[in-house]
Amino acid sequence: MHGQTATLTLPDNLRWVQTLKRWLFVIFLGVASVMAVVAGTDVEPALESSPANKASAVTEQHSALTRLEDLDLLSQGLVEKAGSGATPAHNFRVETRMYRELLRQIMLADRQHPTAEQLPQDLLLEMVRMSALLHAAADCKTGYMIVCPADLMLQLKAQQSKVSRALLMARGKVE
Amino acid sequence: MAAAWQQFAATVWQIASESAFWVIISLIVGGLVHEFLPSSRFSGLLNRRGQGAMAGAIAFGACLPICSCGVIPLAISLYKSGIRLGPVMAFAAATPIINPAAVILSLALLGPQITIAYIVLGLILPYLLGLVTERWGDRMSTVSVGESSSTVTTGCCSTATSCCDSDTAPGVINVVPVDPRSVGARITAGLRWGLSDLGPTIAFYMLVGMLIAGVIAAFLPPSWVDTYLRESSGMALVAAALLGASIYVCAVAHIPLVATLVAAGAAPGIAIVFLVTGTATNLPELIALYNTIGKRTVILYAVSLIIGAMIAGVLVNLWLLPGFSPVFDPVRSLDLLETGERLQPTVGGTLSLLATVVLAGLALVGVWRWVGNLIARRRGTSCCSG
């Protein structure tokens, strides 16, 4: 009987403590959010106008461009492989998918920046077309090997040089 | 000269390996269609007078991810099963032009306006081709399969014991009583018809078409696409239509190629003409249809297709030029490209090689039979020579 009362009172105490904890947590969250909003509105314009922030935006764009240049190197290699006639179709397909996924990651990351600091749309569109052409090349397989028809090969090379040129222009603008 | 030979061999091999798997599948399905369709209700629907059959054939064809070579056996087996010429030709045209993967790719790379034009043309043109070929194409002495459930229609060359596979007058229909065999026996008979009767004939004509396409590819400069598709003159329109109709073009593979040219300033109308004529027809298909369905039908089909596509090209240019540039969201385009890739079934290397070997074997049998028929005809002993 004695034990029973003890078991009945203890949960009540615990509930009270838990409720208090919850309220404290909610109040803390509320205060923190208000502080963050106030701090954000106060600080953002100051940061945007500060030379340090501009420099960071340029650095980020530099790094995005560097990643695109790496992708450009990948596509150059793929174009060469498509023309060689000795590339296993499976490997080529995997690398083509990798190109597309890396490009998607770069574009999604780029979207989080303000419009003025984003990568040039023309450049991204050219790279999307490059990705589509590489996929078309991945479908041109004879048995296990990639063998591209001459017209597609010509377009691949032309598109590759277009992408490289667009990258050079984008790099020139940033610098 | 060595480069030309290399290009010739590469083109023949490419067409064969890309289409072989679908041709074999189409032969199998075609055999089953030939065995089961005449006695089913579906044949009544396809033979129904009016436009419903044509619309149904186009809708069915638009859902299949098959290129123009792969559709030949299925179209011929439909024809040999007694289906009206109009729906058969509409099906043969619609299947390679429109498929889900091609539409999504077009939306991703060419933008919504060209895609709308492509879909509209891909639906209207097969319909018109069906009407024209049915009205003026080769006559088939059909007995409507829907009229009597106790009869089925089969072509002269439909049985395994037929001695005249390739040189029979096409479309001659005999009426035979329904064979009350088991389903298994009918499946075996269908497969035998598809792979043993129809297969060698189709593979032989496809081989002839592939060899001619290889010769054209060997002597055509690779820059011709770049040269003709960049212009917007009437001559360029004609060249794009004629070249598109003669070479092997797969919509899914060629949309990215056309998209880069349109982005570089090519006229959208010419891009549409090339895509539609290129995907709807090619030499292996035309030669196979010419020898199995009928000369007049195929000439009408090709001429109507080229003229129709050219008119559509002019209309698209009037609509979108000057100043057209496809604008789209790069991330969305990548997502659509991925979706298109998922919708396009890819055939593994081993399967593709195996199918190519089977197709080559069928073509050899076809050559053997053709030579045999030729010798028999010279001697005047062919059962069909009279």
Interface test with chain A among B5, B18, B260, by most A beta carbons within 10 Å = B260
- The shortest C-alpha distance from A124 to chain B (Å) reads 6
Which residues face A145 on adjacent strands? A88, A142
Token pair, residue A3, equals 């034990």
**Cβ count within 10 A of residue B348:** 14
CB half-sphere exposure, B266, CA atoms < 13 A: 26
Residue B176 φ/ψ, nearest 5 degrees: -125, 150
Question: Distance between CA A106 and CA B43 in Å, rounded?
Answer: 53
For the segment B150-205, what is each residue's pLDDT rounded down to a tens digit?
A: 333 333 344 433 434 443 434 444 444 556 778 788 888 888 888 888 889 888 98
C-alpha B243, offset from chain centre? 16
Closest CA to B289 of B15, B6, B71, B118: B71
Closest CA to B110 of A132, A35, A173: A132
Interface test with chain B among A155, A156, A157, by most B beta carbons within 10 Å = A155
Question: Cβ of B257 under 8 Å from any chain A Cβ?
Answer: yes
Confidence tier at A83 by pLDDT (50, 70, 90)? confident
Q: What type of residue sits at position B172?
A: V
Residue B384 φ/ψ, nearest 5 degrees: -105, 5
Question: Distance between CA A96 and CA A133 in Å, rounded?
Answer: 10
pLDDT, greater one: A84 or A43:
A84
> Inter-chain contact A132–B353, Cβ cutoff 8 Å?
no
Question: Distance between CA B126 and CA B120 in Å, rounded?
Answer: 10
State the burial class of residue B65 (Cβ atoms within 10 Å of its Cβ: 0-12, 13-18, 19+).
Answer: middle
Q: What mean pLDDT is predicted for residues A13-28?
A: 67
- What ranges in A50-88 are assigned the alpha helix state H? 51-84
- Lowest mean pLDDT segment, chosen from A37-41, B86-90, B132-136: A37-41
Question: Cβ of B3 under 8 Å from any chain A Cβ?
Answer: no
- The shortest C-alpha distance from A65 to chain B (Å) reads 16
**What pTM did the predictor assign?**
0.72
* Residue A85 Ramachandran class (φ > 0 left, ψ -120 to 50 alpha, else beta): left
> Inter-chain contact B13–A150, Cβ cutoff 8 Å?
no
Which residues face A141 on adjacent strands? A146
Residue B51 φ/ψ, nearest 5 degrees: -95, -10
For the segment A117-149, what is each residue's pLDDT rounded down to a tens digit?
A: 778 888 898 999 999 999 988 888 776 788 888
- Name the residue with tokens 């691949």: A156
Q: Which residues of B touch A105 (CB under 8 A)?
A: none
> Inter-chain contact B223–A129, Cβ cutoff 8 Å?
no
Q: Which residues of B touch A142 (CB under 8 A)?
A: 10, 13-14, 17
Confidence tier at A40 by pLDDT (50, 70, 90)? very low
Q: Which residues of A touch B18 (CB under 8 A)?
A: 140
For the segment B363-380, what is each residue's pLDDT rounded down to a tens digit?
A: 999 999 989 988 888 887
Query: Number of helices and strands (H, E) in chain B?
Result: 17, 2
Question: Cβ of B5 under 8 Å from any chain A Cβ?
Answer: no
> Inter-chain contact B256–A135, Cβ cutoff 8 Å?
yes
Tell whether the model's pLDDT for residue A60 goes beyond 70: no
Q: What mean pLDDT is predicted for residues B307-332?
A: 84
* Portion 339-358 of B in contact with A at CB < 8 A: 341, 344, 346, 349, 352-353, 356
The pLDDT, as a whole number, for residue B364 is 93
Question: Distance between CA B155 and CA B145 in Å, rounded?
Answer: 13
Indicate the Cα dihedral angle A35, A41, A43, A45, nearest 10°: 180
Average pLDDT, chain B: 78
Interface test with chain B among A102, A108, A129, A163, by most B beta carbons within 10 Å = A129
Which residues face A87 on adjacent strands? A146
Question: Cβ of B261 under 8 Å from any chain A Cβ?
Answer: yes
The pLDDT, as a whole number, for residue A18 is 67
A89, A125, A131 member nearest B337 (Cβ): A131
Q: Which residues of A touch B224 (CB under 8 A)?
A: 151
Q: Answer whether B155's CB lies under 8 Å from B384's CB.
A: no
Q: What mean pLDDT is predicted for residues B310-326?
A: 84
Nearest Cα residue in chain A from B341: A135
Question: Distance between CA B19 and CA B2 in Å, rounded?
Answer: 26
A108, A125, A142 member nearest B13 (Cβ): A142
Q: What mean pLDDT is predicted for residues B214-241?
A: 75
Question: Cβ of B249 under 8 Å from any chain A Cβ?
Answer: no
Q: What mean pLDDT is predicted for residues B21-31?
A: 88
The pLDDT, as a whole number, for residue A57 is 60
Q: Answer whether A148's CB lies under 8 Å from A82's CB.
A: yes
> Inter-chain contact A141–B253, Cβ cutoff 8 Å?
no
Tell whether the model's pLDDT for residue B10 goes beyond 90: no
State the burial class of residue B360 (Cβ atoms within 10 Å of its Cβ: 0-12, 13-18, 19+).
Answer: middle
